[in-house]
A and B are shown apart, each in its own frame.
Chain A
Amino acid sequence: MPHQCTDCGRAFDDGSKEMLSGCPNCGGTKFQYKPAGTSDSESTAEPAEPPEPPEPAVDSTVARTVGNAATAVRDLVSSSSADSLDDSGGQSEQSPTSVTEQRPAENHAQASARSEVVSRDELPPAPERFRAAPQTTQSGQTTHSPPEPEGVTRDEGNSPSKPPASTPDDSTAETADSQDDSHEESSRPDLSELRKELNDQFESIRVVERGQYELNLMELYDREEYIIALQEDGKYTIQVPERWND
């Protein structure tokens, strides 16, 4: 219970919405921020409101996550913009702040965790829980300019050439997906060509589609056994040489 009404002493969990319109008990608008560690001493005031915990507990974890995220982002970016995050959930100072001040700070933390990082530039190696953010960052970069293939080639170095799949939409995750798709499409011809080449080398009969076949005459000529029946799935029945020579 990081927040406590300075008038009546009622405690609120981090991220609780109850205090947005003032303390439900006394209508007070000033709240004191208390980190989890120090709240034990004042736990006496809490038992007054047992029903609250379930809901706030969820919120608190969310808020904590956001707070952690904000901290991590701040550490990574270490820019002036991160200073504004100091007021967010995971802080140690006990500073009485008004609701109106407190809330925007959290919102800002959340916003920065989601959006600010997106628009920020270099954040290549991010913690695991930030996997979404770097992706969007990459996509943000890619939508800006053609360097997007860099990200793609880094993912899969197999494809040497790819058409500049310019995806004008800025939607983050979708952009990333569509990029992957377009990349897959662009790399498909290479794979199919390779496959074809291998088929040409090793397969005597290739089923292109139902009723469409490609034959490697040399393979057919070279093989000992005699293919006597084909199936649609590319399997075929052979007759062993001994039987053939009877």
Chain B
Amino acid sequence: MGLLTGLRSSISRAASTLFSDEESKRIGIYGPPNAGKTTLSNRIVRDWTEHGDAVGPESHIPHETRRARRRENIEIERDGKTVTIDVVDTPGVTTKVDYTEFLEHDMEKEDAVRRSREATEGVAEAMHWLREDVDGVIYVLDSTTDPFTQVNTMLIGIIESQDLPVLILANKIDLEDSSVQRIRNAFPQHETIPLSALEGDNMDEVYDNIAEYFG
């Protein structure tokens, strides 16, 4: 396996250098449930790929994404430079998953229980990806909610401990209750960029920073 794997990786590395200036960076899109990670992923993919297929379905119901999804070789051009990234849309990370939460969204109990189990598996997968398979992190937060949570603190702490480059995105600035400053106050050590992934607001600044941080 070692020989084959090495051969394959070297081939893919050679191939990637043919089409882009640098090796593709695998960027994990992390954050709590319902922060807009999939919406952002879909926007990035639609903005920078020809086919523009969605990474995954978006939903207002938490834990819509229960498996990590990856889109590879997304080339983002900024200032004449091309940055190639693999976008990994991860399930929302949380410390508790409760099926009763889904019942409020007109879901049958059995479906809610199954969703709960899958969401838990998804969190495990997301944490595993964070450990093994990402070169950088885009941390998405819903700017209408309090960022001072155990999950956010822990995840940012883990990311910092791994010395991974991280970009914090304050999403949903199109909503009234949005407060970007609250997020800046929570994580002053990191760059925080406001955006609305849904509306496409301020995406230019987002891409600038992606190119800068992960290029």
A residues contacting B by CB (< 8 A) are 204-205, 210-218, 220-222, 226-230, 232, 241-242, 244-246
Contact = CB atoms under 8 A, between A and B. Distances in A.
A220 B123 contact: yes
A226 B123 contact: no
B189 interface: no
Contacts of B128: 220-221, 226-227, 244
B131 interface: yes
B171 interface: no
Interface string B130-173: 11100000000000000000010011001000000000000000
Given A211-B117, A213-B98, A227-B128, 11 more contacts: A211-B112, A211-B116, A212-B96, A212-B97, A213-B97, A213-B116, A215-B94, A220-B124, A220-B128, A221-B130, A230-B121
A213 B132 contact: no
Secondary structure class of chain A's binding surface, majority of residues: mixed
B93 interface: yes
B130 A213 contact: no
Interface string B187-209: 00000000000000000000000
B154 A218 contact: yes
A226 B128 CA distance: 6
Interface in B102-134: 109, 112-113, 116-117, 120-121, 123-125, 127-128, 130-132
Contacts of B151: 217
A2 B108 CA distance: 78
A175 B131 CA distance: 56
Among A227, A229, A244, A245, residue most surrounded by chain B Cβ atoms (within 10 Å):
A227
Contact of A228 (B100, B125, B155): B125
A226 B124 contact: yes
Contacts, number: 78
Given A221-B158, A245-B132, A246-B1, A215 B98 contact: no
Given A221-B130, A244-B132, A210 B95 contact: no
Nearest to A214: B96
Contacts of A221: 127-128, 130-131, 158
Contacts of A232: 117
7 contacts: A211-B99, A211-B116, A212-B97, A213-B97, A213-B116, A215-B123, A227-B121
Contact of A213 (B5, B93, B96, B158): B96
Contacts of B123: 215, 217, 220
A232 B121 CA distance: 12
A213 B120 contact: yes
Given A217-B93, A217-B151, A227 B113 contact: no
A241 B133 CA distance: 12
A205 B124 contact: yes
A246 B127 contact: no
Which 7 pairs show the lowest CB-CB distances between chains A and B? Answer: A211-B99, A211-B113, A220-B127, A227-B124, A213-B120, A226-B128, A211-B116
Contacts of A215: 94-97, 120, 123-124
Nearest to B109: A211
